[in-house]
Amino acid sequence: MKWKAAIKNLSWLNLLSIASVGYLSTFAGGAIAGALPDKILWGKPTCDVSTAEILRKHELRKLALVSATDPKLQAQYQSQYQGIIQKHKSDLQTCRDRLAPQTQATWLRLYPNDVKAGVLEDVFDKMANRGYNQVFIEVFYDGRILLPVANNPTPWRSVMEEAVKAGEVPADYDLWQKAIAIGRERGIKVYGWSFAMNFGYGYSEVRGRTAALAINGKGDNSIANTNFDRKLVANGRAFYEDAYESDHLFVDPYSQIAKNDLLAAVNALMQRNPDGMVFDYVRYPTNLTGELIDNVKQLWIYGASSRSALLNSIDNKNVREMMALYLKNGDLTADDVVQTEKQLAQAAKVKPNNIKNPAETAAIAEGLLWNIATNHAYQGVVNFLTVVTNPLKQNNLPIGTVFFPNGNRVESGKYEARMQPWDRFPSHMQRHPMTYALCADGKCVADQVSEVVRQSPPETLVCPVLAGTWGQSFDGHPSFEIQMRAILAQEPKINCFSHFVYSWMEPESDRLRKAGKATGLESPTVPN
């Protein structure tokens, strides 16, 4: 990198000539919040299924479920149900090949209730009925992993753990593998959606992992100010609480322990042969104020691995000593510069350089060290992402990154706290920007997409993530129809959209499944 070459032969006397090196560009973005909508509207999705076909498919699945006592009759209904599924699969592929967008995806969380016969089939039928041909399923989130209890080689608890303990499902049940099979049966590509540097509150309870945590200049990890009552969320119970940013546990991207743990998860999840994986939280924690950061102690680079990597990357002794002081104190003074020069000269048994203007030199040095430190933070994120996704790349599986477009924002030397350098992510990785800006006509959303396109290589797939639902505004977001029209008016080459989230389009389905009350026999959702 540029700064490494610059500091190799650096002395305090030539700081003036190199301190003006610039690094990053600026950007702005939006936010999201909200509960489930009160009503379901069909809207106007492309490649959707007619009312008559939806009802017929639902009735056949229902008949196959309720005729379990008559194997011959059940087989007959099941065969007819499979027939209509295959017809809709073929129709969906033909339609998506013909009409834009070529990829229309949504985001989905699975629950233990989904193991019940007919429930997960109902969910995927609902998605296929709306013309979705891709889904992102949460597989590692909030410190839990969607692997069988009996086959979980990771430090995280299985999503299914409590259901297994309650005797509701066998320990070897593989809901992730089941979802992939049911999706493909309907022509829906199934991607895993995994957290990256956010390892979940429960990771703090795993023995031997303290050194893997991200630490700031106060010596705090990211859950130092958690909202959780630690006694109430012990033993994995944090998974069932609403986690906010201060409750998320972030890891040091330079930690080999952290890399190995997530690599174990990726390898295990990949064994189920999904169609790809996307990674969220490829960043550091944000701050509660939303203000940009401008002090080195606000960076999450104080973990032993990160700090060691930073100092070891600096060959010049003067700069390395100054960086150590800078990390410790949060700034540099004129006396720091003078005393460091004297100490190093004394150790080398040479005469110290005469620094004519120590205050000016200290100010210039501090600016340079800030640039080195922030680039180190950025590079840690990129390196971490590259390492943990390597198994997917080696197996030619698509890899995507999920991010807020303003995560890489820099203004006048101040940085967005999340320090998310998505514009530096490898070009072979898909970019799924969460374009959640709020405006009635969708123009602000389109502007976010355009900025991501501008900062992305031409060969990189940009697939915007839109928040809301069909046919109505919700939580300040205009309908999907309005947002997609606005985006295509500015970026006609965009041919992939995803819609956050299934539970907002099918709130009753999500409520019942989350509560463990879904049967697969609920009334179908039809165009209205």
* Residues paired with 145 in a beta bridge: 140, 158
Sequence-separated (6 or more) residues with CB below 8 Å from residue 433 = 403, 404, 405, 422, 448, 449, 452, 462, 464, 465
Res 194: pLDDT: 98
Main-chain phi, psi angles of 78, to 5 degrees: -65, -40
Q: For residue 2, is pLDDT > 50?
A: no
Main-chain phi, psi angles of 23, to 5 degrees: -125, -45
Q: Give the residue ranges of DSSP H helices in 349-398.
A: 358-388, 390-394
Sign, Cα dihedral of 31, 34, 38, 44: positive
Confirm if 57 and 51 have CB atoms less than 8 A apart. Answer: no
Tell me the per-residue pLDDT of 225-240, one tens digit each, with 9 for 90 and over.
998 999 999 999 999 9
Tell me the per-residue pLDDT of 416-471, one tens digit each, with 9 for 90 and over.
999 999 999 999 999 999 999 999 999 999 999 999 999 999 999 999 999 999 99
Confirm if 288 and 203 have CB atoms less than 8 A apart. Answer: no
Tell me the per-residue pLDDT of 68-96, one tens digit each, with 9 for 90 and over.
899 999 999 999 999 999 999 999 999 99
Token pair for residue 328?
A: 């410790």
Q: For residue 13, is pLDDT > 60?
A: no
Q: For residue 10, is pLDDT > 80?
A: no
Is the model's pTM score more than 0.95? no
Domain ranges of the chain: 1-28+202-254+291-424
Tell me the per-residue pLDDT of 333-365, one tens digit each, with 9 for 90 and over.
999 999 988 888 888 888 888 888 999 999 999
Looking from the CA of 478 toward its CB, the CA atoms found within 13 Å total 18
Q: Is 438 left (phi over 0), alpha (psi -120 to 50) or beta?
A: beta
Query: What distance lies between CA 151 and its chain's CA centroid?
Result: 24
Residue 316, exposed/middle/buried by CB under 10 A (0-12, 13-18, 19+)?
middle
Tell me the per-residue pLDDT of 461-505, one tens digit each, with 9 for 90 and over.
999 999 999 999 999 999 999 999 999 999 999 999 999 999 999
Rg (CA), the chain: 26
Res 1: pLDDT: 43
Confidence of residue 33 (pLDDT cuts 50, 70, 90): very low
User: CA-to-CA distance for 350 and 341, rounded, in angstroms?
Assistant: 11
Res 34: pLDDT: 52
Confirm if 105 and 463 have CB atoms less than 8 A apart. Answer: yes
Looking from the CA of 290 toward its CB, the CA atoms found within 13 Å total 5
Strands (E), 59-141: 103-108, 134-141
Q: For residue 4, is pLDDT > 60?
A: no
User: CA-to-CA distance for 246 and 135, rounded, in angstroms?
Assistant: 29
Instruction: Supply the mean pLDDT for the chain.
Output: 92
Amino acid at 35: A
Res 14: pLDDT: 42
User: Helix (H, G, I), strand (E, B), or coil: what is residue 126?
Assistant: helix
Q: For residue 15, is pLDDT > 70?
A: no
Q: Which residue has the tokens 């390395």?
A: 320
Q: For residue 16, is pLDDT > 80?
A: no
Res 481: pLDDT: 98
The percent of residues above 70 in pLDDT, for the chain, comes to 93
Selection from 264, 260, 232, 257 nearest residue 247 by Cα: 232
User: CA-to-CA distance for 326 and 340, rounded, in angstroms?
Assistant: 12
Tell me the per-residue pLDDT of 272-316, one tens digit each, with 9 for 90 and over.
999 999 999 999 999 988 899 999 999 999 999 999 999 999 999
CA angle 475, 478, 483 (to 5 degrees): 135
Tell me the per-residue pLDDT of 180-232, one tens digit each, with 9 for 90 and over.
999 999 999 999 999 999 999 999 999 999 999 999 999 999 999 998 999 99
Give me the mean pLDDT over the 131-151 stretch: 98
307-312 long-range contacts (CB < 8 A, ≥24 apart) are: 308/254, 309/254, 309/376, 309/380, 310/372, 310/373, 310/376
Confidence of residue 414 (pLDDT cuts 50, 70, 90): very high
Residue 57, exposed/middle/buried by CB under 10 A (0-12, 13-18, 19+)?
buried
